[in-house]
Amino acid sequence: MPTYEYECHKCGKTFDVFQKMNDKLLTVCSDKSCKGKVKRLIGTGAGLIFKGSGFYATDYRSEGYKKKEKADKPVPSSPCRSCDKKGSCDTVK
């Protein structure tokens, strides 16, 4: 449920209310002794909250995407004769 912020015209108090989107707007201050008219304020909206570290675009890719990405990577060249490493080698060929 969204949180809406209201402000009382009479006492100036601001307060938050959890309401369903289709609930009617509040019209009376939540302070029982005030009973002033309230208006709903324009909120900034809820932001995304990421918990933890390392949220990158590739963290939540599907398994099919990951397999295709591996298949598209270039195949390393043949192993170096002097060190048996594939790909780049520090020794001169």
pLDDT digits (tens), the chain, 93 positions: 688 899 999 999 999 888 888 999 999 998 889 989 999 998 766 666 666 666 666 566 778 877 887 888 776 666 666 666 655 666 554
Distance CA 28, CA 61 (A): 48
CB 29 within 8 A of CB 8: yes
Per-residue model confidence (pLDDT) at position 93: 47
- Domain segments of the chain as ranges: 3-40
How many other C-beta atoms lie within 10 A of the C-beta of residue 32? Answer: 7
